[in-house]
């Protein structure tokens, strides 16, 4: 199932960003360090293509440190781009943002040319928490739920440094199927847009291969990593449900409850430091998604053309 979620207010956000970026010196895109490419908005890249960009891998304390290093290297190799890792709840690391912005736009600063920074990100990536850390106050609403911020805010970090906060925004169509599942697992997509069990099974399929030991440790399973890796995804979900007491009548497992447990444990970081994609993996997923999207577009265009006769190849006669 393809996962999509683009509420009406995100259309307004897209328009607002398009206007605001004209007067912006640096764009900060906050990414989830556990899914850096899946949480990078391709629509935002189009809107801000001409501006220096700071990629911030937020929640790095929840992510696999080796994979975070790979992603930082990947993004720092891009033109007009800097990348840093960050835990938005820590005050001192958050100040890296100000220094990085001045490095990207060294000619801005002072009252005559104040730094104007646009900060963007997908829903629930930790942007509001970061802003509150930077300002030392509760300037932005926070919550473990997609779509908390609804309006643009201007925040003065210094007399010559203005930060424009925008609502979290996804993009109208997610062509990388794995990205949809990763975004849902992280909490970036509203709950009504996906099936919990399906997302949990996709998450477990990846964890089985790359972090099977974390599953065994967190859920106190009397199984080795190799045993878990060899199990079917449904079997792993079933055994987790039984271990956590998610039982219905006649000993059946409440798979909905088990799925909610799995996703909660991942989001809270209780499974350990996990990253759900590498640069190489995402490049492969993207190539597949682009190919499928191109095929869909060809079929769509074909449906829009007049049907040709199977015998003669000629278009149907006008019956008007």
At 133 the pLDDT is: 81
CATH code given to domain 9-165: 3.40.50.300
At 279 the pLDDT is: 98
- Stretches in the chain below the pLDDT threshold 50: 142-150, 307-320
Instruction: Write phi, then psi, for 171 (nearest 5 degrees).
Output: -130, 155
d(CA 257, CA 194): 15
CATH code given to domain 177-267: 1.10.1580.10
Nearest of 63, 289, 75, 266 to residue 175 by alpha carbon? 289
Q: What share of the chain is helix, strand, coil (3-state, %, to 5)?
A: 50, 10, 40
At 218 the pLDDT is: 97
d(CA 77, CA 208): 31
At 172 the pLDDT is: 73
Structure tokens at 314: 């000629």
What digits encode the pLDDT tens for the residues 65-91?
999 999 999 999 999 999 999 986 676
Q: Which positions ≥6 away from 241 have C-beta within 8 Å?
A: 247, 253, 254, 255, 257, 258, 261
At 308 the pLDDT is: 42
What digits encode the pLDDT tens for the residues 104-157?
999 998 888 999 999 998 888 988 888 888 877 655 554 444 444 445 688 888
At 1 the pLDDT is: 54
At 4 the pLDDT is: 63
Sequence spans of domains, the chain: 9-165, 177-267
pTM: 0.84
d(CA 81, CA 79): 5
d(CA 37, CA 95): 24
């Amino acid at each position: 199932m393809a996962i999509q979620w683009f509420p009406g207010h995100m259309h307004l956000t897209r328009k607002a960003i398009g206007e605001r970026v004209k007067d912006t010196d640096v764009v900060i895109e906050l990414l989830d360090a556990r899914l850096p490419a899946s949480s990078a908005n391709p629509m935002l890249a189009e809107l801000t293509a001409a501006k220096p960009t700071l990629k911030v891998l937020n929640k790095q304390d929840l992510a696999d440190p080796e994979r975070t290093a790979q992603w930082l290297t990947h993004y720092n190799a891009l033109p007009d781009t800097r990348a840093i890792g960050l835990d938005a709840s820590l005050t001192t690391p958050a100040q890296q943002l100000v220094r990085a912005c001045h490095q990207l736009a060294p000619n801005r600063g002072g009252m005559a040319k104040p730094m104007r920074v646009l900060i963007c990100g997908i829903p629930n990536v930790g942007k509001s928490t970061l802003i509150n850390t930077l300002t030392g106050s509760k300037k932005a609403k926070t919550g473990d739920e997609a779509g908390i911020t609804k309006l643009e805010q201007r925040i003065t970090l210094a007399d010559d440094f203005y930060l424009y906060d925008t609502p979290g925004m996804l993009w109208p169509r997610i062509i990388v199927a794995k990205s949809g599942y990763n975004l849902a697992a992280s909490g970036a997509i509203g709950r009504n847009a996906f099936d919990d069990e399906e997302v949990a099974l996709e998450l477990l399929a990846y964890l089985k291969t790359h972090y099977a030991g974390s599953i065994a440790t967190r859920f106190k399973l009397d199984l080795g990593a190799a045993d878990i890796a060899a199990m079917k995804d449904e079997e792993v979900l079933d055994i987790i449900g039984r271990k956590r007491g998610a039982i219905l009548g006649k000993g059946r497992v409440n798979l909905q409850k088990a799925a909610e447990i799995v996703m909660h444990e991942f989001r809270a970081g209780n499974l350990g430091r996990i990253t759900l994609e590498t640069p190489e993996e995402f490049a492969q997923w993207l190539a597949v998604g682009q190919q499928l999207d191109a095929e869909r577009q060809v079929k769509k265009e074909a449906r829009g053309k007049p049907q040709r006769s199977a015998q003669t190849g000629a278009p149907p006669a006008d019956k008007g």
